[in-house]
Amino acid sequence: MKELLQTTLCYLERDGCYLMLHRVKKKQDVNRDKWIGVGGKFEPGEDALACALREVREETGYTMHGPRYRGIVDFTCDPWPPERMHLFTCTDFSGTAHDCDEGELAWVPKDRVEQLPIWEGDKLFFRLLNRGEPFFHLELYYQGDRLVHALLNGAPAPRD
């Protein structure tokens, strides 16, 4: 059995926008050309919050104050290892933005996010975030780039 990869993803919020990362700088990148939040893999000894704080600081230059833990998203897609992503949002942060070595950062209006090239499953969790859904568990099953099955808190997830 493949080891579970633990990651974080965070969306900073300001003026009705999310800070998004357009993944265009790495050639071998499962997220190549997609728009996602900022985050990354746990380092040894880190928990989800410590990882999110570190990754946001490294990738953006911002320091989060009081990030909100919004949910857990489990991804299954062969040939990649299963991934558990811990999802955060944050409206209180400080610092000066800097360039990110993984892509281009941009503030995107929340109502335009779904028009960007994003993963199909990301659309599901953006809808949950925008509705103010309390903490949730989303399970996403992909075949290649296609979402084939989704569960929200153990039940089939609405797809529209």
Question: What pLDDT is recorded for position 26?
Answer: 58
Q: pLDDT digit string (tens) for 33-90?
A: 789 899 999 999 999 999 999 999 999 999 999 999 999 999 998 888 899 999 999 9
pTM over 0.95: no
**Predicted local confidence at residue 150, as pLDDT:** 96
39 phi and psi angles, rounded to 5 deg: 165, -165
Q: Give all domains of the chain, ordered by start, each with its CATH number.
A: 5-156 (3.90.79.10)
For residue 29, pLDDT beyond 70: no
The pLDDT tens digits of the residues spanning 127-145 come to: 999 999 989 999 999 998 8
